[in-house]
Structure 1
Amino acid sequence: MNRRELSGPGSGVPGIRAVRRAAPVLVLAIALICGAVAAGMLWNAGARADRALAAHRHQVQATTTGRAVDPPAVSRQNVVPRSVAPAVWEYPDNVHRSGTVQVPPRTPQGRTVAVWVDDNGAPARPPATGADRALTALAGGTGAAAVAGAVGVGVIAAVRRCAEGGRLAAWEREWEQVEPVWSGRLRRGSGPGTGEE
């Protein structure tokens, strides 16, 4: 019996080897597709949410009535540090408002700054930019691709482990039949007095 015959059932079959090679590529393709679909869905959902929010956000010009106050040390981790200052503005038309708004650091009193307000004229978060939406979609798509890839790798590993266990068990059974002949040792129950010679 040659080495290929001793290597276990299915181990030398070209189709199985091709499937083994194709499985990681298939997992990668599925992970990329999942990532792209997730990113697209997040982009579209973000665009709808941003359009809805933008309909209720208004940019107005406010005038500071005091000097800017630096942000506390805890918030200095922001990419763009923002200070706050008291200010006055009008929104809706001819309705005077006042409050604390975000301003660039070291903004002096009497400076005009652009602020975002809601439909009632209260300071509000500005609508997200396309860059913010792209970053969210990219992060979500990358996360979805990573999860899909990890699941795929886990499935491949589990299938390979099961297949390997089956191959080893079959190899052991075949070896029990071949080893006595191959090594010259007689099998149990054979020889003189057993009726087998």
Structure 2
Amino acid sequence: MLVILTLALLCGTIAAGYLWDFGARTERARAAQLHQVTATTTEAAREPSALTRSGAANRAIAPALWEYPDGVRRTGTVEVPAGTPRGRAVTVTVDDSGTAVRRAGSSSDIMLTSLAGGAATAGAVAATGAGVLALLRRRVDGRTLAALEREWEQVEPVWSGRLRRESGPGTDDV
């Protein structure tokens, strides 16, 4: 069992490292295509719906207007600090086409994803190993019990004092 747990820990660590590297490369590539622009809110901020909430308690959403790329006016709903009034300048992250997008992930986001993936991998390897061990143990136990049954069939008549099957009436074979 110690071997399985060690293997699970090793696989989880490798998976977490891979996920960290992949996440960091992906976010760097994504960040290179993002731009910060100044937008102006066209209405006061409102509480986001439960389906669109990002989890930040002090954040809200508001319709806004910005220009990107050069001179092209865009509008959309953006995340702003709670209580932002109409006409306030806010910083918005946009892609190369000028569409508002979420900010690039932070290193803590990447770390959390990596740790979760590593833990899931370690758990899957440990569960698989435990299942294989249980199946092997069941098979060995079955063989052991079958061998014990065969041996008992030979020993039981002598041990209990009963006559053997091949003995007939009037013989003293025990």
Equivalent position SS for 1:88? strand
Contact 2:74 / 2:98 at 8 angstroms: preserved in 1? no
Residue 34, structure 1, aligned to residue 3, structure 2: no
Residue 75, structure 1, aligned to residue 75, structure 2: no
Residue 52 of structure 1 aligns with which residue?
Answer: 29
Residue 133, structure 1, aligned to residue 107, structure 2: no
Equivalent position SS for 1:42? helix
Residue 110 of structure 1 aligns with which residue?
Answer: 87
Contact 1:53 / 1:127 at 8 angstroms: preserved in 2? yes
User: Aligned pair in 2 of structure 1 residues 192, 96: CA closer, same or farther (>3 Å)?
Assistant: closer
Mark the runs of 5 or more structure 2 residues left unpaired by the alignment.
Answer: none
Could you tell me how far apart the structure 1 residues matched to 2:83 and 2:52 are? Answer: 14
Equivalent position SS for 2:91? strand
Could you tell me how far apart the structure 1 residues matched to 2:63 and 2:136 are? Answer: 65
Contact 2:46 / 2:60 at 8 angstroms: preserved in 1? yes
Provide TM-score, normalisation by structure 1. 0.76
Equivalent position SS for 2:25? helix
Contact 1:88 / 1:96 at 8 angstroms: preserved in 2? no
Could you tell me how far apart the structure 1 residues matched to 2:166 and 2:146 are? Answer: 23
Deviation at 1:121, TM superposition (A): 2.4
Percent identity over the alignment is 52
User: Aligned pair in 2 of structure 1 residues 76, 88: CA closer, same or farther (>3 Å)?
Assistant: closer
Q: CA RMSD in A?
A: 2.3
Residue 63 of structure 2 aligns with which residue?
Answer: 86
Match of 1:164 among 119, 122, 141: 141
Equivalent position SS for 1:188? coil
Match of 1:186 among 156, 160, 163: 163
User: Aligned pair in 2 of structure 1 residues 50, 110: CA closer, same or farther (>3 Å)?
Assistant: same
Could you tell me how far apart the structure 1 residues matched to 2:107 and 2:12 are? Answer: 19
Could you tell me how far apart the structure 2 residues matched to 1:175 and 1:195 are? Answer: 22
Q: 2:115 is matched by which residue type in structure 1?
A: L
Contact 1:83 / 1:104 at 8 angstroms: preserved in 2? yes
Provide TM-score, normalisation by structure 2. 0.85
Could you tell me how far apart the structure 2 residues matched to 1:85 and 1:151 are? Answer: 49
Deviation at 1:90, TM superposition (A): 4.0
Mark the runs of 5 or more structure 1 residues left unpaired by the alignment.
Answer: 1-23
Could you tell me how far apart the structure 2 residues matched to 1:177 and 1:77 are? Answer: 74
Could you tell me how far apart the structure 2 residues matched to 1:79 and 1:58 are? Answer: 23
Q: 1:66 is matched by which residue type in structure 2?
A: E
User: Aligned pair in 2 of structure 1 residues 126, 76: CA closer, same or farther (>3 Å)?
Assistant: closer
Equivalent position SS for 1:113? strand
